[in-house]
Chains A and B, each alone.
Chain A
Amino acid sequence: DTGVSQNPRHKITKRGQNVTFRCDPISEHNRLYWYRQTLGQGPEFLTYFQNEAQLEKSRLLSDRFSAERPKGSFSTLEIQRTEQGDSAMYLCASSATGNTIYFGEGSWLTVV
Chain B
Amino acid sequence: DQQVKQNSPSLSVQEGRISILNCDYTNSMFDYFLWYKKYPAEGPTFLISISSIKDKNEDGRFTVFLNKSAKHLSLHIVPSQPGDSAVYFCAASDRGSGTYKYIFGTGTRLKVLA
Contact = CB atoms under 8 A, between A and B. Distances in A.
Interface in B61-111: 89, 91, 93, 95, 99-107
A103 B44 contact: yes
B7 to A, nearest CB: 13
Given A42-B104, A42-B105, A56-B101, A103 B95 contact: no
A56 to B, nearest CB: 6
Nearest to B43: A103
B16 to A, nearest CB: 28
Given A43-B89, A56-B99, A100 B49 contact: yes
A45 B42 contact: no
Interface string A77-112: 000000000000001010100011111111010000
14 contacts: A31-B100, A40-B106, A42-B4, A42-B104, A43-B91, A44-B104, A45-B104, A50-B100, A93-B43, A100-B34, A100-B49, A102-B46, A103-B43, A103-B44
